Amino acid sequence: MDLSLRDITHVYDELEVLSGIELEIPHGQIVCIIGPSGCGKSTLLRLIGGLERPTRGSVLQIGDPPEGSLSPLTYIFQDFALLPWRTVAGNVSLVLEDQPLGAREREERIAGVLARTKLSDFHDVLPKQLSGGMKQRVAIARALAVDPAVLLMDEPLSALDSQTSELLIDDLVELWTREPFTACYVTHNLGEAVRLGHRVVVLSRRPGAIREIVEIDIPLAERTATHPKLEDLRQHLWNLMREEAQAADKELAHV
């Protein structure tokens, strides 16, 4: 299933935050969206997943979601959004309980995704006992449990320290290499974008509009933190964004 964004414009109380976004999210690819803070990246992600309605334009699903997908558009949040009163398995179970699954099938799904995210040993652990990185792994497991057609990731690594996010990038690359998934990955971190994105979409400062789309054709598994070509790309993206970021930084918050 592909997603297609047609002329998305969004206005909050007369303040235009997104302007004329046209974007394709093709099946099996990771599309990274970067931009200065306050450019409407997260808003765009909420629009794509149907948590908010765009003022103008539409988000179209092209083709049917894959067989067995329980929730085609699934989020991974920056703050993990785990229920603190449920165990690791309970948090994964939560999103399956409203689905037409038998108890055994549910258990199998939970065990399956916990194994895929290397969390099997943490089945009955409460979130308060987990580090930030493990919490985000649980959130990834929860998202994978519903077999999403598109993963919508809202700065998933921003709340983690740099070593942990490095480990999680490796995990995501491994997950994708074993079984390619479609994702829209919002971040402000250029390093993450060039490591994970098949395409990197650069948004301008508010009102967010697409400045440039950069295609990266190096296979994910071959991308390392010190890959020279990626370093050039990162520099290129930073040059695109620097002035925008400076200007965005000086802007007053609209409250």
- Positions touching other proteins (CB under 8 A) are 49, 51, 70-71, 73-75, 77, 79, 81, 83-86, 94-95, 97-98, 126-128, 142, 146
Which residue, 12 or 85, has its beta carbon nearer to other proteins? 85
Residue 168's identity, in one-letter code, is L
Specify the residue, 104 or 128, whose C-beta has the smaller distance to other proteins.
128
Looking at beta carbons only, is 11 or 95 nearer to other proteins? 95
Structure tokens given for 249: 């930084």
Residue 102 CA to residue 70 CA, distance in Å, equals 14
Whichever of 151 and 240 has its CB closer to other proteins, that residue is 151
Write out the H or E segment, with its range, that includes residue 92.
helix 88-94
Closest distance between other proteins and the C-beta of residue 49, in Å? 6
Q: Which two tokens stand for residue 4?
A: 């297609």
**Residues 193 and 200 sit within 8 Å (Cβ to Cβ):** yes
Nearest to 220 by CA among 195, 237, 199: 195
Phi then psi for residue 240, to 5 deg, are -65, -35
Q: How many CB atoms lie within 10 A of CB 65?
A: 16
Please report how close the Cβ of residue 85 comes to other proteins at its closest, in angstroms: 4
Give CA separation, 240 vs 186, 211, 253, in Å.
17, 8, 23
C-beta closer to other proteins: residue 67 or 97: 97
**Pairing of β 182-186 and β 2-12:** unpaired
CB of 147 to other proteins, least distance (A): 12
Smallest CA-to-CA distance from 194 within 225, 158, 155, 239 is with 225
Give me the least distance between CB of 96 and other proteins, in Å please. 9
Q: Rounded to the nearest whole angstrom, what is the least distance from the CB of residue 173 to other proteins in the complex? A: 24
The bridge status of strand 73-76 relative to strand 56-62 is: unpaired
Question: Quick check: 210 and 229 in contact, CB under 8 A?
Answer: no
Question: Least distance to other proteins from the beta carbon of 62, Å?
Answer: 20
Q: Are 43 and 19 in contact (CB under 8 A)?
A: no
CB nearer to other proteins: give 11 or 126.
126
Q: Which is nearer to other proteins, 60 or 83 (CB)?
A: 83
Q: How far is the CB of 149 from other proteins (least distance, A)?
A: 13
